[in-house]
Chains A and B, each alone.
Chain A
């Protein structure tokens, strides 16, 4: 059923969030909060070198220490073949995942896990890893993407040959693959252009910076049954990866999802769980492991740093006739940067007849990258949206009008192939143009910038359930960890279908043995896909309730209607019966056929992309180089906001992460390839005092493929901020900055370098 045009009572309202009280009172159970009788503490020994051969590992001294119950290295995990599958967020090579959890023959980055111990206390575990003797042969390293691509770069993997080039290379390389997307003839298009802008843009690696470090408690029982308690973006993903890496049947692993303190893509894979299970198996006791903040930075995946060249060509009237982008993304120690989406997203917002995009996936001696909110897209859009602004200036055009003129609409063929349908980009641009922020006056020295973003959003396999308890209250179940409010949105959709208040529905997330499979939480998919499953499950329950009312009243089921949480006779001919509510029907559940409930699995399609437009006002302190954000508006096509407060929160949160990416966040390395700023004091994420209240404007162009019209919303808002701020800084100073972050020292240096030129102007 489709409810887009219905008069909705619950969906679209703002009930109190179901997880709020637990979280603010400290009762929520996160990954590190679990304890079990007989539990041991696990600790990882990590490489001090950015690149080194592991000559030998001697664990004998550690094993002899009192209190140490197990020590493991990669020899304790099966050495699995080079096999790739789409289990998590993007294709995963299981051999690489295993080598990332515990190194095989090489340490590939500073922080790479080499061995692990389980001991009766944390302090014994800390002391024990110091007793493990590792002989390294230190090798030259490379970190920056172009250093890693150089002909004489130290090669990380002797068996890695660049894919996507012909003829097949004979020498190993750090370039894992090359991808290309072409439309028309870009070279001819540039020849036809009246105006051309181009630039080289760079970004640094940034971390997802979730407040909650990785943590797990795992227990391998003597009969081969495994319990895992961990926070993640997918407990089925955790189960699948542990099964694959350890050779355990899926049904023998039970993964329990704990509350999660942020993921943003960074918790779509495993680091600790396979190691903890291996330790538990050896020790015969449960093992708890948790990363320190330092370990999170050094040993869990940030996103790529990148170098990009972008070029745009347009006619004098503003029609863009050609576009080109060359993107080089860091993958970290193993292949798998988000180069594909990066190549597809940069120009996806525009109708350009001739496009040429080339992307390189490049390994280097830093942690393997993990997904980060719209992976790849913020990076490519940083370059494209700055170039669009430069083009607007050169043409003397308003930047919104330039985008409207060239904007994708229904029927626009993208450069990566599909034709856009049912999109809301022009609507978001219009909302931006008409917003008071766009017209508000600026003072001297202040600048305003605008930028846009596109993300595909996905659907996928999801399971949800709707169960009526004996007293008529409702338990909804979701196969997906809640990282952005999906317990609320799923509960609300179920409540809407059942016709009851949102407060009558409690949504929980059962473990992997208690609900059917769900693909992980990511790709902005859960409210869309799992919501779809929940809606259909609730609809099945309504049909069942009508059947039971018909049975009680002894009338045909066609003569029963369901409205506002009750069964009614459908018209006076059906009979004069008092309505039956959920509680009344639940009371007679046994007599009318048994327990009332439904669990339903789908592979949801038709997710529908999202677009965002952000406006930023800044002023720049010329003495310190600090950029202050004065005002920020984020406009986004959300389809249908199931719970508007959560949608606003997603928009504000994504925008804030983009602001951090723009202004301060970066991995800083010393001369030995070690991270220098592995803590929140020196890895500077925005705090509340750094950003103004971000106004989130929701444009609702319903997605016809979702029962309530929802689109995914979580990822789009991180894409525009970097360029919106870069364009605003350009407006405030007259300077185009090409390198992120635009941190105070860099801005000050750029201002100093440009001072003579600006003075002359």
Chain B
């Protein structure tokens, strides 16, 4: 099962302080649904406010972004720009 690291502190209120979770998911969409089920409110926050970095590549707003059991999966705050 992939390990998902939640970067930063913005989600800790919803996860009870946990920053690393094992999640039964291989796409960002499934990841969001699983997180929402386990920690109500977290899936929404992740979907709307976070990007996912899979093996170093950042995906934003991409349900179909895929990862495997050995992938590095990190949720980081969404990036904007100027």
Which A residues fall within an 8 A CB radius of B? 84-86, 88-91, 163-164, 166, 168, 177-181, 208, 264-266, 268, 338, 340-341, 343-344, 371-375, 416-422, 455-461, 522-525, 603, 605-607, 705, 712, 715
Closest 7 A/B residue pairs (Cβ): A265-B82, A523-B81, A418-B53, A421-B56, A417-B74, A371-B82, A417-B7
Among the listed A164, A341, A525, which residue makes an inter-chain contact with B9, where contact means beta carbons less than 8 Å apart? A164
Contact (Cβ within 8 A) A418 B60: no
Q: Chain B residue with minimal CB distance to A340? A: B77
Contact (Cβ within 8 A) B60 A91: no
Contact (Cβ within 8 A) A522 B81: yes
Set of chain B residues within 8 Å of A712, measured between Cβ atoms: 81
Contact (Cβ within 8 A) B7 A181: yes
Among the listed A84, A341, A373, A419, which residue makes an inter-chain contact with B56, where contact means beta carbons less than 8 Å apart? A419
Contact (Cβ within 8 A) B82 A522: yes
Q: Mark B41-68, 1 if CB is under 8 A from A, else 0.
A: 0000000110001011111111001000
Contact (Cβ within 8 A) B61 A461: yes
Set of chain B residues within 8 Å of A373, measured between Cβ atoms: 82
CA distance A461 to B59 in the complex (A): 12
CA distance A268 to B60 in the complex (A): 19
14 A-B residue pairings within 8 Å (CB atoms)? A84-B48, A85-B48, A86-B78, A91-B49, A180-B8, A181-B7, A268-B82, A341-B80, A417-B76, A457-B81, A523-B80, A603-B61, A606-B57, A607-B58
Set of chain A residues within 8 Å of B48, measured between Cβ atoms: 84-86, 91
Q: Chain B residue with minimal CB distance to A519? A: B61
Contact (Cβ within 8 A) B80 A179: no
Contact (Cβ within 8 A) B13 A605: no
* B79 → chain A closest CB, angstroms: 5
CA distance A617 to B60 in the complex (A): 40
Which B residues fall within an 8 A CB radius of A? 5, 7-10, 12-13, 48-49, 53, 55-62, 65, 72, 74-82
Indicate the member of A177, A375, A417, A455 with the most B CB atoms within 10 Å: A417
Q: Chain A residue with minimal CB distance to B48? A: A86
Among the listed B60, B74, B75, B81, which residue makes an inter-chain contact with A715, where contact means beta carbons less than 8 Å apart? B81
* B18 → chain A closest CB, angstroms: 13
Set of chain B residues within 8 Å of A372, measured between Cβ atoms: 82
Contact (Cβ within 8 A) A421 B82: no
Among the listed B49, B55, B59, B80, which residue makes an inter-chain contact with A421, where contact means beta carbons less than 8 Å apart? B55
Set of chain B residues within 8 Å of A338, measured between Cβ atoms: 80
Set of chain A residues within 8 Å of B81, measured between Cβ atoms: 89, 265, 371, 374-375, 455-458, 522-525, 712, 715
Contact (Cβ within 8 A) A180 B9: yes
CA distance A85 to B82 in the complex (A): 17
Contact (Cβ within 8 A) A416 B7: yes
* A378 → chain B closest CB, angstroms: 10
Indicate the member of A343, A375, A458 with the most B CB atoms within 10 Å: A458
Contact (Cβ within 8 A) B53 A417: yes
Among the listed B9, B56, B76, B77, which residue makes an inter-chain contact with A420, where contact means beta carbons less than 8 Å apart? B56
Contact (Cβ within 8 A) A715 B58: no
* B24 → chain A closest CB, angstroms: 21
Among the listed B7, B13, B49, B62, which residue makes an inter-chain contact with A166, where contact means beta carbons less than 8 Å apart? B13
CA distance A712 to B7 in the complex (A): 24
* A422 → chain B closest CB, angstroms: 8
CA distance A373 to B10 in the complex (A): 24
Contact (Cβ within 8 A) B79 A419: no
CA distance A268 to B82 in the complex (A): 8
* A517 → chain B closest CB, angstroms: 12
CA distance A607 to B81 in the complex (A): 13
* B53 → chain A closest CB, angstroms: 3
Q: Chain B residue with minimal CB distance to A419? A: B56
Contact (Cβ within 8 A) A340 B61: no
CA distance A91 to B47 in the complex (A): 12
Q: Chain A residue with minimal CB distance to B59? A: A605
Among the listed B57, B62, B78, which residue makes an inter-chain contact with A91, where contact means beta carbons less than 8 Å apart? B78
Contact (Cβ within 8 A) B56 A418: yes
CA distance A265 to B77 in the complex (A): 19
* B28 → chain A closest CB, angstroms: 11
Q: Chain B residue with minimal CB distance to A264? A: B82
Contact (Cβ within 8 A) B79 A458: yes
Given known A-B contacts A89-B80, A715-B82, A418 and B8 have beta carbons under 8 A apart: no
Given known A-B contacts A605-B59, A605-B60, A419 and B72 have beta carbons under 8 A apart: yes
Contact (Cβ within 8 A) A86 B49: yes
Q: Chain B residue with minimal CB distance to A88? A: B80
Contact (Cβ within 8 A) A375 B80: yes
Q: Chain B residue with minimal CB distance to A372? A: B82
CA distance A455 to B79 in the complex (A): 10
Set of chain A residues within 8 Å of B75, measured between Cβ atoms: 417
Contact (Cβ within 8 A) A417 B5: yes
* A732 → chain B closest CB, angstroms: 31
Contact (Cβ within 8 A) B60 A421: no
CA distance A419 to B81 in the complex (A): 21
Q: Chain B residue with minimal CB distance to A461? A: B61
Indicate the member of A177, A460, A525 with the most B CB atoms within 10 Å: A460
Set of chain A residues within 8 Å of B55, measured between Cβ atoms: 419, 421
Set of chain B residues within 8 Å of A168, measured between Cβ atoms: 13
* B9 → chain A closest CB, angstroms: 4
Q: Chain B residue with minimal CB distance to A522? A: B81
Set of chain B residues within 8 Å of A177, measured between Cβ atoms: 10
CA distance A45 to B79 in the complex (A): 35
CA distance A663 to B7 in the complex (A): 35
Contact (Cβ within 8 A) B7 A460: no
* B42 → chain A closest CB, angstroms: 15
Set of chain A residues within 8 Å of B77, measured between Cβ atoms: 179, 340-341, 344
Contact (Cβ within 8 A) A523 B79: yes
CA distance A420 to B5 in the complex (A): 15
Contact (Cβ within 8 A) B65 A605: yes
Set of chain B residues within 8 Å of A420, measured between Cβ atoms: 56
Given known A-B contacts A91-B49, A344-B76, A605-B65, A418 and B82 have beta carbons under 8 A apart: no
Indicate the member of B55, B61, B75 with the most A CB atoms within 10 Å: B61
Among the listed A180, A264, A416, A421, which residue makes an inter-chain contact with B76, where contact means beta carbons less than 8 Å apart? A416
* A277 → chain B closest CB, angstroms: 25
Contact (Cβ within 8 A) B7 A374: no
CA distance A338 to B79 in the complex (A): 10
Set of chain B residues within 8 Å of A85, measured between Cβ atoms: 48
Set of chain B residues within 8 Å of A416, measured between Cβ atoms: 7-8, 74, 76
Q: Chain B residue with minimal CB distance to A609? A: B58
* A351 → chain B closest CB, angstroms: 14
Set of chain A residues within 8 Å of B76, measured between Cβ atoms: 344, 416-418
CA distance A603 to B61 in the complex (A): 8
CA distance A417 to B58 in the complex (A): 11
CA distance A374 to B82 in the complex (A): 6
Contact (Cβ within 8 A) A340 B74: no
CA distance A460 to B79 in the complex (A): 10
CA distance A456 to B53 in the complex (A): 12
